[in-house]
Amino acid sequence: MQRRIIKSENPQKKDAVLKAAIEVFSKKGYPGATIREIGARAGVSTETIYFYFKNKAEILKETFKRMDHIPIEDFVESKGCLPEAEIFEEICRESFKFIARDFKLVMLFINESIHSAKLSDFFYGEFYRSVSGMANIFEKYSKKGIFRGRNHKETAIFTLLSILSLAIFKEGPFKRQLKSLQYEDCVKTISDVLLNGLLSEKGKISPKGRAAFKPAK
């Protein structure tokens, strides 16, 4: 029997496949999910899925790309002329909101990247785009004399991973214990610590004979 040829893309079908994939991945996990199950949930054939995606990993990648988030630099621009400290708080607030809203998917991406070098490279590339965007903002503020001149990409990595780690533990293993901890409190604390530091003016004076702390390059 001659195989039916799909001649053109149908955005609605592609969207249905991605929506179904999220549901199946969330229920059965990525390793346990099959193309057949995704097709059945989406109401399309496996041939239709393979028309849009090479394999299951490509579906996962496209799912990540379509998650509801905007580039950091575009986000900052949308906030207008807020003071730099408030912009930093807004970035933290939006990052927490993004992770909490799509926590299951975020964890799915993290778990699968541990077991797949290709997925790890892909997700790191996506993460690094956020790092680069944040670093550009920090560099801009540094030139204005608002932020210290240091390795801004390292600072961006530290900032984003701090937010990610806190959100993961709050939404995951420590959800019950950290129930009373509000994200707005997290925003204020992280912003205060990262923008103002822990040391008082007295503490910033390095004692004689002891070198001041220098971050690793």
Q: What is the pLDDT of residue 67?
A: 77
State the pLDDT at residue 1: 41
DSSP state string for the chain: -PPPPP-S--HHHHHHHHHHHHHHHHHHHHHH--HHHHHHHHT--HHHHHHH-SSHHHHHHHHHHTSS---HHHHHHHT-S--HHHHHHHHHHHHHHHHHHTHHHHHHHHHHHHH-HHHHHHHHHHHHHHHHHHHHHHHHHHHTTSS--S-HHHHHHHHHHHHHHHHHHHHTTTTTTTTT--HHHHHHHHHHHHHH-S--TTTTSPPTTSPPP----
What does the pLDDT read at residue 206? Answer: 58
What is the predicted pLDDT for the residue at 214? 52
* Per-residue confidence (pLDDT) for residue 144, from 0 to 100: 93
Q: What is the pLDDT along the chain (217 residues), one digit of tens a residue?
A: 444 554 567 888 999 999 999 889 888 888 889 999 999 999 999 999 999 999 999 999 998 887 766 788 999 998 888 999 999 999 999 999 999 988 988 898 898 899 889 889 999 998 999 999 999 999 999 999 999 988 999 999 999 999 999 999 999 999 999 999 999 999 999 999 999 988 887 777 655 544 444 544 4
Domains of the chain: 11-65 (1.10.10.60), 72-196 (1.10.357)
Q: What is residue 129's predicted lDDT score, i.e. its pLDDT?
A: 92
Considering the entire predicted model, what is its pTM? 0.78
Instruction: Report pLDDT for 52.
Output: 93
